[in-house]
Structure 1
Amino acid sequence: MLILTKEDIKKVFTMKDAIEADKEALKIYSKGESVVPLRVNIDIPKYEGQSLFMPAYAEGIDATGIKIVSIFPKNIEMGKPSTPAQMILLDGKTGEVSAIMDGTYLTQLRTGAVQGAATDILATKDAKIAVLFGTGGQASAQLEAMICVRDLDEVRVFDINESRAEEFVEDMKVKLAKYNTRIIAVKDGNEAIKDADIITTVTTSKRPVFNGSLVKKGAHVNGVGAYTPKMQELDEGLIKKADKIYFDTKKGVLAEAGDFIIPMEKGIISNKDFNGELGQVILGEILGRENDDEITLFKTVGIGVLDLVTAHRIYEKAIKSNVGTNIEI
């Protein structure tokens, strides 16, 4: 059994690798070649905690896995992460555990990468300006994914906490220096999006974070952060205005994302306004962007097959590069 830390994963796996893994995962899901049961949530009231178990199986890559994510707010008092996570990867042929890896970093990587996959497929090829809303734990991967798939001149970063945005930008200038993209903090998100080619939101906001009427023709928008029925990063006007709308999984988005649940309940939009899943675009079953004037919109809430395929690819590369710690049990 191979043990892989965050640093081990970084040695063998890039954002580009993760984007390709997510594209494969979306294809597998849209073809109906994966099994993704509902996650199991166990409350731990004694410690005000919760543990979530998220399994998946993909026959085509002979792999099974389960990501375990726990939410224990009091961990911070002990100097421990409040949301520890691990991914357990099993050999689909034998059922043996083949690897255990850092699930927190895996989640950041695959979540950034699924947005990167959508941006690669749906954004205009000559996109030069992007805007990122939110600077939390997912933000760095979201930023890298955008500049990984497009040769961007500038990314504007907005957060309701200005100093946090400035600190994030300074950190990213160092960590993402190899991309040669100008990264700046901005104080007005609405002003920032007016000429933006790509807009990505990764917040937990319960109200829209920008005015959708200001989005220009040809822009591509990624909604990443709103993952409950009460959260709503994207305004209803933008969703109505978008020429084409795609999901990572239609079932997941319409069950979990307030961005779509809220306007559907109001009768502003309906099923006929949705084009389908990104995996269907990759498979050639439905059309993606058809011209440079279309506003395209992608919404993701995540699914276990993204973790599974990404973890399997990481494991394969780690074995090939002799990275990680092998243990016998």
Structure 2
Amino acid sequence: MEGKNLLYLSRSDIEKINIPMSEIISTLEKMFFEKGQGRVEMPPKPGIHFSEDSYIHAMPAYIPAFQSAGIKWVSAFPENHKKNLPFISGLLILNDATTGFPIAVMDCTWITAMRTGAATAVAAKYLANPNSSQVGILACGVQGRSNLEALSCVFNIKKVNVYDIFAQSAQKYADEMGKKLDLPIEVMKDPRSAVLGSDIIVTSGPILKNPHPTIEKGWMKEGAFGSAVDFDSYWTGEALGEVDGLFTDDTHQMDYYRSLGYFTNTPPVSADLGELCVGTKSGRTNASDRIITMNLGLALEDMVVASLIYKKAQKLEVGHILPL
């Protein structure tokens, strides 16, 4: 009976459904347009904190145009790698937007990875030079992979330079992603070598409140675009000071994070992605601008991707029906 059951989707179920990255990118762009028009609801994410950098966040959102509503309960524990556990874990609850009843519970790790990469691609579409072909990846974990996959959907990438503090992880990344995307990927001996000459730079390490930044002033070439998935953890204040524009996925949430002590050396926001998609604010002014986006990760992104997954799961009859 409707309203009496929900669909449970494990990570393996979601991977089996396998929504293409290109579809996630186009869906997020439509969502950001709705956000830019003010037709969404997303309060700042509250959380509980186990240490300075270990937390669990609650992330609710509602997007009427997609009839998508729900909440993600997601944790980030930087020390998990020492236990052979992923940095990110959690669950997402999707609700029926007409009755409020929960209709699905699903693992959120695949969703988080894919929508984060897709958000970088949306930002890059509006902010990077369209002829960008060389990518530098710093930190070769899950986000380093999804971001490169998403960028390859938007740009004609010809060369990728990667760096990770664990050389073995960088080599594994180069072998696996090179084969998956049919791209030449070179492991660099230091982060500077991965950044120099890159048209697009992605930093995707753990988010740290008091980071030890690596990228210095002068490394980022004129005209380059950077996506700081790990907030400002990889970028020195001097490096951020030379950018011509700093963007984000949500200005209000960045202001909220500033109030908590993050982004102390980060310049003011020029615009958010919703404003870029709607056209109320502009992005790059010329080909030589250095541009950075610091996307914070939005519940809006999670809910529209979860909605895609739920609909396809019903069609393919994937998952397990559980009674409420």
TM-score (norm 1): 0.84
Tell me the secondary structure at the aligned position of residue 212 of structure 1: coil
> Post-superposition shift, 1:201?
0.6
The residue aligned with 2:284 is: 289
Aligned pair in 2 of structure 1 residues 96, 171: CA closer, same or farther (>3 Å)?
same
Aligned pair in 2 of structure 1 residues 79, 214: CA closer, same or farther (>3 Å)?
closer
Instruction: Output aligned runs, 1:79-158, within 5 Å.
Output: 83-158=88-163
**Would you say 1:169 and 2:194 are equivalent positions?**
no
Alignment check: 8 A CA contact 1:235 1:259 kept = no
- Bigger mean CA deviation after superposition, 121-130 or 255-264: 255-264
Distance 1:298 1:210 in 2: 15
The residue aligned with 2:164 is: 159
Tell me the secondary structure at the aligned position of residue 297 of structure 1: strand
Tell me the secondary structure at the aligned position of residue 264 of structure 2: helix
> Post-superposition shift, 1:98?
1.9
C-alpha distance after superposition, 1:224-265 (max 9, x if no partner):
113xxxx6322223322222221111122233269973226x
Distance 1:77 1:53 in 2: 25
> Post-superposition shift, 1:180?
2.0
Aligned pair in 2 of structure 1 residues 43, 239: CA closer, same or farther (>3 Å)?
closer
Distance 1:302 1:93 in 2: 26
Alignment check: 8 A CA contact 1:218 1:293 kept = yes
> Post-superposition shift, 1:70?
4.2
Distance 2:82 2:198 in 1: 41
**Would you say 1:277 and 2:272 are equivalent positions?**
yes
Match for residue 27 of structure 1 among 23, 27, 33: 33
Return the letter of the residue paired with 1:296: I
Structure 1 segments of 4 or more deviating over 4 A?
Answer: 42-45, 70-83, 257-260
C-alpha distance after superposition, 1:135-170 (max 9, x if no partner):
233221122122221110111111122222112222
> Post-superposition shift, 1:51?
4.5
Distance 1:260 1:88 in 2: 28
> Post-superposition shift, 1:68?
1.6
Alignment check: 8 A CA contact 1:208 1:235 kept = yes
Match for residue 264 of structure 2 among 262, 265, 269: 262
The residue aligned with 2:309 is: 314
Alignment check: 8 A CA contact 1:24 1:309 kept = no
Root-mean-square deviation over aligned CA pairs: 2.9
> Post-superposition shift, 1:221?
0.8
Return the letter of the residue paired with 1:187: K
Number of equivalenced pairs: 312
The residue aligned with 1:222 is: 227
Match for residue 186 of structure 2 among 167, 184, 199: 184
The residue aligned with 1:39 is: 45
Distance 1:78 1:154 in 2: 34
Distance 1:189 1:259 in 2: 26
Aligned pair in 2 of structure 1 residues 133, 259: CA closer, same or farther (>3 Å)?
farther
Match for residue 22 of structure 2 among 4, 16, 19: 16
> Post-superposition shift, 1:50?
6.1
Distance 2:133 2:86 in 1: 36
Aligned pair in 2 of structure 1 residues 3, 202: CA closer, same or farther (>3 Å)?
same
Distance 2:134 2:19 in 1: 26
> Post-superposition shift, 1:52?
3.4
Q: Percent identity?
A: 27
Alignment check: 8 A CA contact 2:138 2:194 kept = no
**Where does the alignment leave 5 or more consecutive residues of structure 1 unmatched?**
none
Alignment check: 8 A CA contact 1:133 1:209 kept = no
> Post-superposition shift, 1:110?
1.0
Aligned pair in 2 of structure 1 residues 96, 74: CA closer, same or farther (>3 Å)?
same
TM-score (norm 2): 0.85
The residue aligned with 2:250 is: 249
Distance 1:245 1:73 in 2: 26
